[in-house]
Structure 1
Amino acid sequence: MTSSGTNPAGLPGSAAWELLLPAASAPARARGRFLQTALREAIRAGRLAPGTRLPSSRELAQDLGVSRGLVTEAYEQLTAEGYLRSGRGAGTWVGGAVRAAAPRARDLAPRPHGLRVDFVPGSPDLSLFPRAAWATAQREVLAGLPHHDLGYPDPRGLPRLRSALAELLARRRGVVADPERLVIVSGVAQAAALLGSVLHARGVREIGVEDPGSPQHDALYAAAGLRTVPLPLDAEGLAPGPLHASGVRAAVTTPAHQYPTGIACSPGRRARLLDWARSVDGLLLEDDYDGDFRYDRAPVGALQGLDPERVAYTGSVSKSLAPGLRLGWLLVPESLTDAVVERKRTMDLGHPSLDQAVFARFLECGEYDRQLRRCQRAYRERRDALVAALAEHFPHARVSGIAAGLHAIAELPDRYGPESRFLRRAAAAGVALRPLSACTHPAGGTWPATAGPPPGDEPGVRLVLGYAHLPAARIREGVRVMAEATAE
Structure 2
Amino acid sequence: MTPSDGDGLGVDLHLEVGAGGGRRAALIAALREAVRGGRLAPGTRLPPYRSLAADLGIARNTVADAYAELVAEGWLTSRQGSGTRVAERVAAPAPGPVRPTAPPPLPYDLVQGKPDPGAFPRAAWLASARRALTDAPHEAFGIGDPHGRIELRRALVEYLARVRGVRTTPDRIVICSGAAHALRLLARVPGAAGPWAVEAYGLPFHRGLFAEAGVSTLPVPVDENGIRVAELPRHAGAVLLTPAHQFPTGGPLHPERRAGVLEWARASGALVVEDDYDGEFRYDRRPVGAVQGLDPERTVLLGSVSKSLSPALRIGWMCLPSALVDGVVAAKGLREPYASATEQLTLADFLVSGAYDRHVRRMRQRHRGRRDRLVTALAERVPEVRVTGIAAGLHAVVELPPGTERAALAAAARHGVAVEGLASYRHPEARGPARPDGLVVGYATPPERLYETAIQALCGALTASLPA
TM-score tier (shorter)? 0.7 to 0.9
| Counterparts in 2 of 1:347 and 1:140: CA distance versus 1, 3 Å | closer
Amino acid at match of 1:267: P
| Counterparts in 2 of 1:424 and 1:211: CA distance versus 1, 3 Å | same
Runs (5+) with no aligned partner, structure 1: 1-22, 49-63, 77-83, 85-99, 105-109, 446-457
Q: Deviations over 1:129-183 (max 9, x none)?
A: 1001111111222223222110112211111110011100000000002111001
| Counterparts in 2 of 1:301 and 1:187: CA distance versus 1, 3 Å | same
Q: Retained in 1: the 8 A contact 2:144–2:336?
A: no
Q: Work out the CA distance in 2 between the residues paired with 1:111 and 1:180.
A: 44
Q: Are residue 46 (structure 1) and residue 25 (structure 2) matched?
A: no
Amino acid at match of 1:282: A
- 1:421 Cα deviation after fit: 2.3
Q: Retained in 2: the 8 A contact 1:211–1:231?
A: yes
Which runs of structure 2 are paired with 1:73-472 in the superposition (5 Å)? 73-74=55-56, 113-199=104-190, 204-244=193-233, 247-346=235-334, 348=336, 351-414=339-402, 417-443=403-429, 461-470=437-446, 471=448, 472=451
| Counterparts in 2 of 1:136 and 1:41: CA distance versus 1, 3 Å | farther
Secondary structure of the residue that 1:244 maps to in structure 2?
coil
Amino acid at match of 1:364: V
Q: Retained in 1: the 8 A contact 2:378–2:385?
A: yes
Q: CA RMSD in A?
A: 3.4
- 1:397 Cα deviation after fit: 1.5
Secondary structure of the residue that 2:318 maps to in structure 1?
strand
Secondary structure of the residue that 2:440 maps to in structure 1?
strand
Secondary structure of the residue that 1:437 maps to in structure 2?
helix
Q: Deviations over 1:97-156 (max 9, x none)?
A: xxx96999xxxxx99834232221110122111001111111222223222110112211
Q: Work out the CA distance in 2 between the residues paired with 1:123 and 1:351.
A: 19
Q: Retained in 1: the 8 A contact 2:219–2:427?
A: yes
- 1:29 Cα deviation after fit: 3.5
Q: Work out the CA distance in 2 between the residues paired with 1:382 and 1:260.
A: 18
Q: Which residue does 1:473 correspond to in 2?
A: 452
Q: Retained in 2: the 8 A contact 1:156–1:350?
A: no
| Counterparts in 2 of 1:170 and 1:214: CA distance versus 1, 3 Å | same
Secondary structure of the residue that 1:301 maps to in structure 2?
coil
Secondary structure of the residue that 1:184 maps to in structure 2?
strand
After TM superposition, the score normalised by the length of structure 2 is: 0.79
| Counterparts in 2 of 1:255 and 1:71: CA distance versus 1, 3 Å | same
Secondary structure of the residue that 2:166 maps to in structure 1?
coil
Q: Retained in 2: the 8 A contact 1:257–1:402?
A: no
Q: Are residue 70 (structure 1) and residue 52 (structure 2) matched?
A: yes
Q: Retained in 2: the 8 A contact 1:221–1:228?
A: yes
Identity %: 43
Q: Work out the CA distance in 2 between the residues paired with 1:180 and 1:439.
A: 35
Equivalent residue pairs, number: 408
Q: Which residue does 1:91 correspond to in 2?
A: none
- 1:390 Cα deviation after fit: 0.9
Q: Retained in 2: the 8 A contact 1:186–1:326?
A: yes
- 1:197 Cα deviation after fit: 0.8
Q: Retained in 1: the 8 A contact 2:306–2:313?
A: yes
Q: Deviations over 1:279-302 (max 9, x none)?
A: 001101000000111101232000
Q: Retained in 2: the 8 A contact 1:153–1:349?
A: no
Q: Retained in 2: the 8 A contact 1:394–1:412?
A: no
Q: Retained in 1: the 8 A contact 2:144–2:335?
A: no
Q: Which residue does 1:107 correspond to in 2?
A: none
Q: Deviations over 1:24-76 (max 9, x none)?
A: 9x98233652686998774244379xxxxxxxxxxxxxxx9945453241467
Q: Deviations over 1:443-480 (max 9, x none)?
A: 499xxxxxxxxxxxx99641111111133413432333
255-264 or 134-143, larger mean C-alpha shift: 134-143
Q: Retained in 2: the 8 A contact 1:418–1:459?
A: no
Amino acid at match of 1:120: V
- 1:482 Cα deviation after fit: 1.7
Q: Work out the CA distance in 2 between the residues paired with 1:140 and 1:28.
A: 41
- 1:340 Cα deviation after fit: 0.9
Q: Retained in 1: the 8 A contact 2:186–2:192?
A: no
Q: Which residue does 1:87 correspond to in 2?
A: none
Q: Retained in 1: the 8 A contact 2:192–2:271?
A: no
Amino acid at match of 1:232: P
Secondary structure of the residue that 1:157 maps to in structure 2?
coil
Q: Work out the CA distance in 1 between the residues paired with 2:462 and 2:6.
A: 63
Q: Deviations over 1:379-427 (max 9, x none)?
A: 111111111111112113211225110111111234xx43222222221
Q: Retained in 2: the 8 A contact 1:389–1:479?
A: no
Q: Retained in 1: the 8 A contact 2:13–2:47?
A: no
Q: Retained in 2: the 8 A contact 1:155–1:349?
A: no
| Counterparts in 2 of 1:360 and 1:31: CA distance versus 1, 3 Å | closer
Q: Work out the CA distance in 2 between the residues paired with 1:335 and 1:102.
A: 58
Q: Deviations over 1:214-254 (max 9, x none)?
A: 11111212232211111111231111222135x21211000
